[in-house]
Structure 1
Amino acid sequence: MVPKNYQHILALVFAVLEINENPQLLSNVTLGVCIYDSYFSAQRTYHATMLLTSTLEIFVPNYLCDIQNHLAAVIGGLDSDISLYMATVLDIYKIPQVRYIPAPVMNDKTPGLSFYQMVPEETLQYEGILSLLLHFGWTWIGVIVMDNDNGERFVQTVLPVFSQKGVCFAFIERIPTLSFVTGFMDIIEDGVKIHDSMMGSKANVVAIFGESYSMSFFRWLPVLSVDNKLVGKVWIATAQLELSAFHYQRHWDAELFHGAILFRYQFSYLQRFHKFLKKGNPLSTIKDDFIKNFWEHVFSCVFLNTTGDPVDGGICTGEEKLESLPLPFFEMSMTGHSYSIYNAVYVVAHALQAMFSSRRTYGTVLVRGRPELQNQPFWQLHHFLRSVSFNNSAGDQISFDQSGKIIAGFDVINLIVSSNESFHKVKVGRLDPQAPPDRVLTINEKAHPLSVCTESCFPGYSKKVKEGEPFCCYDCIPCPEMKISAQKDMHDCYDCMDTTYPNIKHDFCIPKARTFLSYKEPLGISLSLFALSLALITALVLGIILKHHNTPIVKANNRNLTYILLISLLLCFLSALLFIGHPEPVTCLLRQTAFSIIFSVAVSSVLAKTIMVVLAFMATKPGSRMRKWVGKSLANSIVASCSLIQAGICSVWLATSAPFPDVDMHSVTTEIILECNEGSVILFSCALGYLGFLAIVSFVVAFFARKLPDSFNEAKFITFSMLVFCSVWLSFIPAYLSSKGKYMVAVEVFSILASSAGLLVCIFAPKCYIILLRPELNNRGQLVRR
């Protein structure tokens, strides 16, 4: 079952209902409709056609006993073979057949059948395809036709005309005629053959001359392809083809058809038909043997009272929405075929109206207040069909030419397949048979379809010529990360200026923002408040120590070193403020050097305190020579010498390659970073390395002195403080190197504050605790363990 064909039935029923409700047309006469399926089988088609000529529900050929139901005309034959099978039977009874497909091929054994064609002359469509090919310069194409008489006629009569105009054919393939017993293996075998021909050809345009179901066949091609090289081909399909799919192809990839050009029978939008479709419901619709089968297939559900084979899915509620179906399954607006069927019903109705009105030849017998037609010679309806002319409800004029073909044209449609597998039909031109010869085909250049060999590369892309292909065949390559192209069909992308960066689409440059770690942003404010808070705490600790400077716990650990350490920590916290704010020449000179020297003083003070603790315990041993080293002079010497070395490194740094304000335009794509260039990276590394050396030495000395016998051994707290200090700065290195812009500065500021806070808390928190909360422990007897 091809689900989309169900709309043909609905268009037929809709037209009949409209006519029966119209008092101006066939007044007091009720049109009825009887629908049969051909199942793509000649036997089924002949049988269904004979049923139409017999009494309803009683199949007896040439026997008709129902005087209230008269067959006036037949509308049908979606494909050419089906139409021909029906015509061979209907012609015996002279019953008119109104077709909505081009005329089938007639051979010598076929009688002169009468057809009324609701679609334009087919030769007009072929002329339009040829004009389209020449318009875009597509002279190397592949052709796919049906493997039947119509396809052979096309190859023998139409393609030579194409060749005369300079169009060459890379390949000509044939697809099988669909039948009721067509198997998957047959489809796959023919699909592989067509797939191989397309893959082996450089032709980028493929013209299809098929039947209504051919698109369903071509949806097998992506399944048979191991890659996606078929995508990008430009497909040109005749109006007979519908964009359709079988129910099992619901989720199959359709990107293959993106950019396809479809010829479509011209039609007008009918708002009433759209409303009619929205009312469709399998639970409320009666006398429709097709709707439940259609509903189960398209919504993948099953009705509880169904007698057919169950399908995968849930239970059908009947509340499912037709507008939610994908376009290959169903359309809420009429297709070209459905519009032709709709007009065909009106053609028959207007012909009947003309025949009933002609009292010169036909009489009317009133039965129960209604005109009933008894033994009316319906074969004479042909005369009125040929001369019918009217405007339908959409305002389109409907009339036939001398050969029984409707006077109309074609629309040229560009099929767009979105990334979510939704389909959009964009009208890009039209074929008008009544226009001057040079204006029969009109194409909207602004909306011309995409094709590999004619495609324009939009801004943000550049052209790359395909290897081994003509210069007009190229791929559109997205611009690299830092490049743009501002115009169509650029051969190369170009760089933005240093002060700008590409937008997301890479089609123009955006000015970069100038950034630095500012006092006005949350990060800068937080770090500033953190630094000032720690500086205030350090000042309070220094005040407490000065107030209790004569107590044993202060005197026991070298008061001078304590004062130096607290003052240096206070300055460390304040030096962090030099890193925040707009980089200036003075701040750039001071921030790293001041930080290095002040930290060296702090760490050397800690080292001196640790060494003094060790010497003090060694001096208590009898006969020890270490007593002469215990004193203020040694501690001051340690602090001074260690700090002078760092000061020397910084002096050389400032003298040879001093830091200076700079801008970094490349580290962050969207920003210009205002920063302090460190000048000499080597000397900067030396300053940090020397600081780390002092910290490690202090940690090692304190670690070995942590178990000296004393109830208040400061070496224990120094060990913890230096462990915190070293951990912070070891973490600083990878964090600093992996950061960019103002966040790199923020990492260094945080490391300064965290390491300084570690020294402050680990060394002075125990002292403040004893001084303020446990003053009874602040005496010599408690501090010295004998």
Structure 2
Amino acid sequence: MWTFLVDPRFIVSLLELMSLVLLGGFVNVLKQKTEPAEAFNVAGVSTEASSTRCTLLGTPRSPAFSKDGDFIIGGVSSIHYQLYTVIYNYTTKPEPPRCTGSFNARGLRFFRTMIFAIEEINNSTELLPGIKLGYQIYDSCVSVPISVHIAFQMANGQDPVIYKGDNCSQSGKLVAAVGDSGSTPSISMSRIMGPFNIPLVSHFATCACLSDKQQFPTFFRTIPSDHYQAAALAKLVKHFGWTWIGAVHSDSDYGNNGMASFLEAALREGICVEYIESFYRSNPQSKIQRVADVIRSSTAVVVVAFTAIGEMKVLLEELTRDPPPPRQWIASEAWITDSNLMRFSFCAGAIGVAIQKSVIPGLRDFLLDLSPSKVAASSMLTEFWEDAFNCSLTETTDPNKRVCDGTEDLKTLKSPYTETSQLRVSNMMYKAVYAIGHAIHNAVCEEKNATVQCDKHIGLEPKQVFTELQKVNFSKNGYHVSFDANGDPVAFYELVNWQKSESGVIELVTVGYYDASLPKGQEFHINRNITWVEGGTQVPVSVCSESCPPGTRKVLQKGKPICCYDCIPCPEGEISNMTDSPDCFPCPKEFWPNSNRDACFHKPVEFLSFDEVLSIILATLSISGACLAIITAVIFFHHRTTPIVRANNSELSFLLLFSLTLCFLCSLTFIGAPSEWSCMLRHTAFGITFVLCISCVLGKTIVVLMAFKATLPGNNVMKWFGPTQQRMTVVALTFIQVIICIIWLVVSPPFPVKNLTTYKEKIILECALGSAVGFWAVLGYIGLLAVFCFVLAVLARKLPDNFNEAKMITFSMLIFCAVWITFIPAYVSSPGKFTVAVEIFAILASSFALILCIFAPKCFIILFQPEKNTKKYLMNKH
């Protein structure tokens, strides 16, 4: 049994050490100053109390490509996509985790691009003259354990034993590194390398989380952050009017953070997501199948895929098992430019953002400069060669694989390795190497006497390179390289489209660009025709609900996203003048919607105009009545000496006919557009002329009564109601109405007004009463005189017929009162211009009643029965 008396902090350190051993990681265990009783030996780690030597644990990982130099640059990317898993029994020392699976020729091109850039710098007379850069390049196979293993090895160097002090012998210690190609591995590496101030410049890690300098202080990248990519994808979706989409993403830091940024941007753009599915390439087949089934059964035509190449490959393979659904794919930069994925023909029409296409002079010749002897010297190149040409460089027992005979030619090979017409991520790798080269140059070189001198013996520390990387600012091959405070470059993307060529092969075509440096609203441009899903030329429609046309408003469907709604017509009096309006807006007071309810027009103005049929009829009746009164007056004047005219008080008869003529004509003032003068004239003229008319009738009625009273013996009443008194009575009664009208006009006269309440859809031009008391006082006075006249006429109705016109006056006043009694409710309830028509009708009806009842019988006798127009007949008592 072992007994230890140790500090608790030592136990924590021991546990951390054991976890790193299980990862196969390299640790730099420095000698601790401990008491002899605290000496220990665990898992092959030994420290000696009197020694300053530290031994590395674990088995060193061999780089895929390496070269010595004055300063070493590390490189990490992925050529394989699977991790070889081993079940450990903890009885033997674990081997370093290693990569397996199919060979990725595109990843090899990235490696060789890094080597090409370093060789260019080494041959340059301007950048780092006299200094040779070395490199150590590793395959991480997109695996966090391997990336962590590589990070520790880069931080410690390759010496199995490390001596402190003057005898420092850390060979292969890196000053900076390029990588990794994935966001999740880059996060792990940066967390390890950051505390040692070792800068990590990634060419393909785009997660926006890596911009956090609190967590990743030494991380840089030459590829834009997904923060900008998410904004570009959201603007792309919005640009084509897609508001109902599906979303799939890798279950990794790249996919999770990228999709989160996209969803945030999509929400700002008003885009709804029907489903969000995440998966990883190593998930069970049932999980991949479930994601594919969700895509097949969805109603969203557009699918945004924020995935890495590995995830997209397994998803598309699953979708091909059944007839793939017609979907418009919107791609992230991770997979849109991958030539291997373009073999899935049902994805033709995919559109997405891609890293800017570039040209690297001399790179293609360098890539093709591989002889069998160079290939045989590298296990990585050997694997590539044998995979590309399906042959073996050594003797093989595999009957399906021949031995390479030396006729293999890279120039005839169609592979992502030799494809240099679409250099995108390779240029990011190229710029990353040059950024580190410029940082080292600024740290170790200075200009003296117009020449640049570099000191390769300087003890260059990674922290110095990190400091200089923050300040790099240069251009190479026409492409600018610099980093902002977050270690990010200026975001620029190409918009690319998968288009089928005439031969049926899918090609990558640039159709626009997105430049984050441009002013807001001008970042996004499309300058070429796009081919859509299934080869269509029309933009596909992907909405939960069709757009609501103008004249309607959106009403959200209960329990569904905001993009799912019903279109409800705007209510009466309201409009919506844009598509997908959330609300309808009322028109201004004097405006009204058109039939489509998408615009407001001036309400039609309505009044009783002279060109209307109703107005013409009323005007004709008015003029006819006036003419009838004039004709009657002419007849009476022509026969003024006849007994029937003289017997009926000819002076009052002529005055009555004159007033009736005015009554008929005053109705014309009610027709036409109201004005200030017409409003005052029509009511006062009507009131005064009718009082004059009723006063005359009242005078005639009193004369009849007085005349019969005068025939009684000893009664001389007529001397009190002679012609003078008759005139004074008419004038006095009329003057009272005039006084009422003057008071009305002075206090609150009638005035023209636009009636907006009777009808919502039109304006009624009418005369407001001003003072309702004045109006009803005028009518009331007329009614009072009419009732009084009617009572007197009733009293006189039984006098002898041949001389007495009281019956006719009674009948006329009965009609007059009936007309004006029915006028009141009709006037109050009639809408718009019909109010005026009712008033005109009442005037005409009462006027016709008076002239026909009082004068028609007399005219008939005068014209057609002259034998009755004699004094003898009139004096007849029968």
- 1:235 matched to 2:339: no
1:451 is aligned, of 533, 552, 562, to 533
Cross-structure match for 1:427: 510
Match of 2:408 in 1: 320
Question: Partners of 1:324 and 1:155 in 2: how far apart?
Answer: 40
Matches within 5 A, 1:328-727: 331-333=419-421, 335-357=423-445, 371-392=455-476, 394-418=477-501, 422-444=505-527, 446-451=528-533, 455-456=537-538
Work out the CA distance in 1 between the residues paired with 2:161 and 2:316.
42
Of 206, 210, 215, the residue aligned with 2:312 is: 215
Does residue 168 of the first structure (1) align with residue 252 of the second (2)?
A: no
Unaligned runs of 5+ in 1: 458-462, 472-786
Local SS of the residue matching 2:484: coil
Alignment of 1:127-138 (within 5 A): 127-138=231-242
* 1:70-81 superposed matches below 5 A: 70-81=173-184
Cα-Cα RMSD? 3.7
AA in 1 matched with 2:482? S
Shift in Å, 1:268: 1.7
Cα separation, 2, equivalents of 1:223 and 1:173: 18
Helix, strand or coil at the partner of 1:33: strand
Deviations for 1:153-202, whole angstroms, at most 9, x for unmatched residues? Answer: 445453143134221222211121x4xxx4xxx46323311221111012
Who is 2:793 aligned against?
Answer: none
- CA 449–71 in structure 1, closer or farther in 2 if over 3 Å, else same: same
Aligned letter for 2:475?
Answer: N
For 1:127 and 1:456, how far apart are their aligned partners in 2?
Answer: 24
Residue 296 of structure 2 is matched in structure 1 by 199
Contact 1:257 / 1:417 at 8 angstroms: preserved in 2? no
* Alignment CA distance shift 1:274-1:259 (3 Å): same
CA–CA distance in 2 between the matches of 1:243 and 1:281? 29
Give the 3 Å change call, closer, same or farther, for CA 333–381 of structure 1 in structure 2.
same
Question: Are 2:349 and 1:259 equivalent residues in the alignment?
Answer: yes
Is 2:194 the counterpart of 1:91? yes
- Tell me: CA distance 1:127–1:327, structure 2 relative to 1, closer, same or farther (3 Å): farther
- Residue 690 of structure 2 is matched in structure 1 by none
Letter in 2 for 1:271: P
Q: Which amino acid in the other structure matches residue 281 of structure 1? A: S
| In 1: Cα distance, 2:359 partner to 2:545 partner | 43
Q: CA deviation at 1:33?
A: 1.0
Q: Look up the match of 1:684.
A: none
CA distance in 1, matches of 2:143, 2:163: 22
Partner in structure 2 of residue 297 of structure 1: 387
| Residues 375 and 385, structure 2, Cα contact 8 Å, conserved in 1 | no
Q: How far did residue 426 of structure 1 move?
A: 0.7
- 1:335 is displaced (CA, Å) by 3.2
* CA deviation profile, 1:675-701 (whole Å, cap 9, x unmatched): xxxxxxxxxxxxxxxxxxxxxxxxxxx
Question: Residue deviations 1:482-504, cap 9 Å, x none?
Answer: xxxxxxxxxxxxxxxxxxxxxxx
SS at match of 2:329: strand
* Equivalent position of 2:263 in the other structure: 159
Report the Cα distance in structure 2 between the residues aligned to 1:407 and 1:9, rounded to whole angstroms. Answer: 24
Q: Deviation digits for residues 650-678 of structure 1, max 9, x if unmatched?
A: xxxxxxxxxxxxxxxxxxxxxxxxxxxxx
Whether the 8 Å CA contact 2:224–2:489 is kept in 1: the answer is yes
Give me the whole-angstrom Cα distance separating, in 1, the residues matched to 2:504 and 2:457: 52
Match of 1:52 in 2: 154
SS at match of 1:404: coil
Paired residue secondary structure (2:533): coil
Q: Indicate conservation of the 8 Å contact 2:349/2:534, yes or no.
A: no
- Residues matched between the structures, number: 439
Equivalent position to 2:217, from 96, 113, 118: 113
- Residue type of the alignment partner of 2:427: Y
What CA distance in whole angstroms lies between the structure 1 residues aligned with 2:154 and 2:354? 30
Structure 2 CA distance for aligned equivalents of residues 65 and 110 of structure 1? 32
Point out the structure with max Rg over C-alpha: 2
Secondary structure of 1:74's partner? strand
Which residue of 115, 127, 132 maps to 1:30? Answer: 132
Partners of 1:326 and 1:111 lie apart in 2 by: 42
Counterpart CA distance in 1 for 2:511 and 2:495 is 6
Is 2:337–2:508's contact at 8 Å kept on the other side of the alignment? no
- Checking the alignment, whether the CA contact within 8 Å between 2:110 and 2:426 is kept in structure 1 is yes
CA distance in 2, matches of 1:62, 1:44: 26
In the alignment, the residues of structure 2 paired with residue 419 and residue 449 of structure 1 have an alpha-carbon distance, to the nearest angstrom, of: 13
Instruction: Report if aligned partners of 1:4, 1:328 keep a CA contact under 8 Å in 2.
Output: yes
SS in 2 for 1:73: strand
Question: Cα distance 1:12–1:150, how it changes in 2: closer, same or farther (>3 A)?
Answer: closer
Gaps of 5+ in 2: 1-79, 81-103, 548-878
Displacement of 1:414 after TM fit? 0.9
SS in 2 for 1:40: coil
Measured against aligned partners, the alpha-carbon deviations of 1:197-244 in whole angstroms (never above 9, x if no partner) come to: 11101222111112243332234134422x2x33x4221111133644
1:75, distance to aligned residue in structure 2 (A): 0.3
**Structure 2 residue identity aligned to 1:12:** M
